[in-house]
Structure 1
Amino acid sequence: MTKTRNDLPQTRGETLLTDSGLETTLIFNDGFDLPQFAAYTLLETTEGRRALKSYFRRHLAIAADHGVGFLLEAPTWRASRDWGERLGHDPDRMARFNRDAIALLADLRAETPAVRPVVISGNIGPRGDGYVPDTAMTEDEAQAYHAEQIGWLAATDADMVTAVTLGTVAEGVGVIRAARAANIPVVVSYTTETDGRLPDGTPLGQALEETDARTDGAAAYFMVNCAHPDHFRPALEAGHGWLARIGGVRANASRMSHAELDEAEALDDGNPAELGRDYARLRRLLTNLTVLGGCCGTDHRHVEAMADCCLHGTSA
Structure 2
Amino acid sequence: MSKYRSNLPLTKGGTFLTDGGLETTLIFHEGVELPHFASFVLLATREGRQQLKDYYLRYLDIADEAGTGFVLDTPTWRANADWGDKLGYSDVALRAANEDAVDLLTEIRDEREKPGAPIVVNGAIGPRGDGYKAGNMEADEAEAYHLAQIKAFADSGADMVTAFTLNNINEAIGVSWAAKKAGMPCVISFTVETDGKLVTGTTIEEAITAVDRATGSYPLYYMINCAHPSHFEEALDHGSDWIKRIGGIRANASMMSHAELDESETLDAGDPIDLGRRYSDMVKRMPQLRVLGGCCGTDHRHIGAICEACLTPRALSA
TM-score (norm 1): 0.96
Q: Please state if 1:132 is matched with 2:141.
A: no
Decide whether the 8 Å contact of 2:123 with 2:161 is kept in 1: yes
CA-CA distance at 1:287 after TM superposition: 2.2
Superposed CA deviations along residues 125-176 of structure 1, whole A, max 9, x for unmatched, are: 000001101x300000100100111111110120000000000010000000
Task: Give unpaired runs (5+ residues) of structure 2.
Answer: none
User: In the alignment, what sits opposite 1:27?
Assistant: 27
Superposed CA deviations along residues 247-292 of structure 1, whole A, max 9, x for unmatched, are: 1000000000000000000000001111011100111222210100
The one-letter code sitting in structure 2 at the alignment partner of 1:117 is P
Decide whether the 8 Å contact of 1:5 with 1:220 is kept in 2: no
CA-CA distance at 1:114 after TM superposition: 3.5
Question: How far apart, CA to CA, are the structure 2 residues paired with 1:293 and 1:6?
Answer: 24
Q: Secondary structure at the match of 1:202?
A: coil
Superposed CA deviations along residues 214-238 of structure 1, whole A, max 9, x for unmatched, are: 1000000000000000000001146
The one-letter code sitting in structure 2 at the alignment partner of 1:192 is V
User: In the alignment, what sits opposite 1:246?
Assistant: 246
Of the structure 1 ranges 56-65 and 299-308, higher mean CA displacement relative to structure 2 is found in: 299-308
Superposed CA deviations along residues 64-99 of structure 1, whole A, max 9, x for unmatched, are: 000001000000000011100001110000000001
The one-letter code sitting in structure 1 at the alignment partner of 2:64 is A
Question: How far apart, CA to CA, are the structure 2 residues paired with 1:5 and 1:284?
Answer: 29
User: In the alignment, what sits opposite 2:40?
Assistant: 40
CA-CA distance at 1:4 after TM superposition: 8.8
Q: Secondary structure at the match of 1:72?
A: strand
Decide whether the 8 Å contact of 2:4 with 2:120 is kept in 1: no
Displaced runs of 4 or more, over 3 A: 1-6
Question: How far apart, CA to CA, are the structure 2 residues paired with 1:200 and 1:149?
Answer: 25
Over aligned residue pairs, what C-alpha RMSD do you find?
A: 1.7
TM-score (norm 2): 0.95
Q: Secondary structure at the match of 2:292?
A: strand
Question: How far apart, CA to CA, are the structure 1 residues paired with 2:311 and 2:128?
Answer: 35
The one-letter code sitting in structure 1 at the alignment partner of 2:213 is A
Question: How far apart, CA to CA, are the structure 2 residues paired with 1:4 and 1:108?
Answer: 15
Question: How far apart, CA to CA, are the structure 2 residues paired with 1:62 and 1:263?
Answer: 32
Q: Please state if 1:82 is matched with 2:82.
A: yes
The one-letter code sitting in structure 2 at the alignment partner of 1:177 is W
Question: How far apart, CA to CA, are the structure 1 residues paired with 2:238 and 2:288?
Answer: 17
Q: Please state if 1:175 is matched with 2:181.
A: no
Q: Please state if 1:9 is matched with 2:9.
A: yes
Superposed CA deviations along residues 17-36 of structure 1, whole A, max 9, x for unmatched, are: 00000000000001011011
User: In the alignment, what sits opposite 1:202?
Assistant: 202
Question: How far apart, CA to CA, are the structure 2 residues paired with 1:3 and 1:169?
Answer: 31
Identity %: 52
Q: Please state if 1:161 is matched with 2:126.
A: no
Decide whether the 8 Å contact of 2:5 with 2:159 is kept in 1: no
Question: How far apart, CA to CA, are the structure 2 residues paired with 1:114 and 1:238?
Answer: 35
Superposed CA deviations along residues 184-230 of structure 1, whole A, max 9, x for unmatched, are: 10000000000000111100111111110110000000000000000
Decide whether the 8 Å contact of 1:2 with 1:184 is kept in 2: no
Decide whether the 8 Å contact of 1:212 with 1:218 is kept in 2: yes
Matches within 5 A, 1:211-250: 211-237=211-237, 240-250=240-250
Residues 129 and 171 from structure 1, CA distance in 2 versus in 1: closer, same or farther, beyond 3 angstroms? same
Task: Give unpaired runs (5+ residues) of structure 1.
Answer: none
Q: Please state if 1:298 is matched with 2:298.
A: yes
Aligned pair count?
A: 313
Question: How far apart, CA to CA, are the structure 2 residues paired with 1:44 and 1:3?
Answer: 25
Residues 46 and 163 from structure 1, CA distance in 2 versus in 1: closer, same or farther, beyond 3 angstroms? same
CA-CA distance at 1:7 after TM superposition: 2.0
Question: How far apart, CA to CA, are the structure 2 residues paired with 1:65 and 1:199?
Answer: 38
Matches within 5 A, 1:80-159: 80-114=80-114, 116-133=117-134, 135-159=135-159
CA-CA distance at 1:14 after TM superposition: 1.7
Question: How far apart, CA to CA, are the structure 2 residues paired with 1:290 and 1:51?
Answer: 28
CA-CA distance at 1:308 after TM superposition: 1.0
Question: How far apart, CA to CA, are the structure 2 residues paired with 1:31 and 1:239?
Answer: 45
Residues 140 and 2 from structure 1, CA distance in 2 versus in 1: closer, same or farther, beyond 3 angstroms? farther
